[in-house]
Amino acid sequence: MDVNGRNKYNRATRALSRWWQGLVELFFPRLCLVCGKPLIEGEKFFCLHCDIDMPRTGFHLRPDNAVKDMFWGLVTVERATAYLYYRRKSGFSHTIHLLKYGGRPDIGVELGRAMAAELSATGFFESIDVLVPVPLHRRKQRQRGYNQSEQLANGVATVTGLPVETGAVERCKDTASQTHKSVYERWENVEGIFRLLHPERLAGRHVLLIDDVLTTGATLCACAEAVAQAPGVSISILALATASDG
């Protein structure tokens, strides 16, 4: 086939795929994950209205914020932010629930991409060398089929071009769920749950630790402490959401 023929063929294939997509959506409309209304072309998981209404924290514009405060006196952190506020039973918390327990890793990639697009405009990723998602215990990752923080990191990577490092730190203890624990119990529960397996992969680099939802910050802090054992490492923090008001 000559160049002209190939172009015609490509155009026809694209038109056919759009037609098919339109037909599928007629019978199985894609719905906004927050409000449930049908999505229009160009909207991926959220309608424009819910996208605008997302409870953004704007913490990346304030060097001293509630997320950075979580690490004060425990681990030295260069920059820290959470993209959204987490409110129980809000439309958005349902989306996070799907990401964590509903077998929807694609939501993580999309949210990672969304937060990176907003944060990169303010220089949040400047001097960062590598993205490190907070690891899950092997058993939990097998059950779930994926690590939601790694999916967020993959989304961030598509925008920033930064590498994702998943093998340097491991979660060596499978802790019970933190949900029903007191603040004190949460901090006790995370003692020694992470281990730095490959300090040489992080040594001398600026690591951006990526997590999903922060409540007390105990788990992420334990992970940061493990990463901090790599010689000459510096650490920044990016979480999808925080339960803190700050």
Residues in contact with Zn ion, shown as a per-residue x/- string from 97 to 136 under the rule CB under 5 A: ----------------------------------------
Residue 45 or 85: which CB sits closer to Zn ion?
45
- Total binding residues for Zn ion by CB under 5 A? 5
* DSSP class of 193: -
User: Segment near Zn ion (CB under 5 A), from 2-10, 33-41, 94-102, 189-197?
Assistant: 33-41
**In the set 12, 35, 61, 197, which binds Zn ion (CB under 5 A)?**
35
Q: Which residues contact 229 (CB under 8 A, 6 or more apart)?
A: 196, 199
In this structure, what are the phi and psi dihedrals at residue 242, rounded to the nearest 5 degrees?
A: -130, 145
Cα–Cα distances in angstroms (integers) from residue 214 to residues 5, 80, 157, 182, in the given order: 54, 12, 21, 15
Answer yes or no whether residue 50 interacts with Zn ion by CB under 5 A: yes
Q: Which is nearer to Zn ion, 102 or 123 (CB)?
A: 102
- Residue 157 CA to residue 154 CA, distance in Å, equals 5
Sign of the Cα pseudo-torsion (131, 137, 141, 142, in order): positive
**Pick 84 or 202: Cβ nearer Zn ion:** 84
The least distance separating Zn ion from the CB of residue 103, rounded to whole angstroms, comes to 21
Residues in contact with Zn ion by the rule CB under 5 A:
32, 34-35, 47, 50
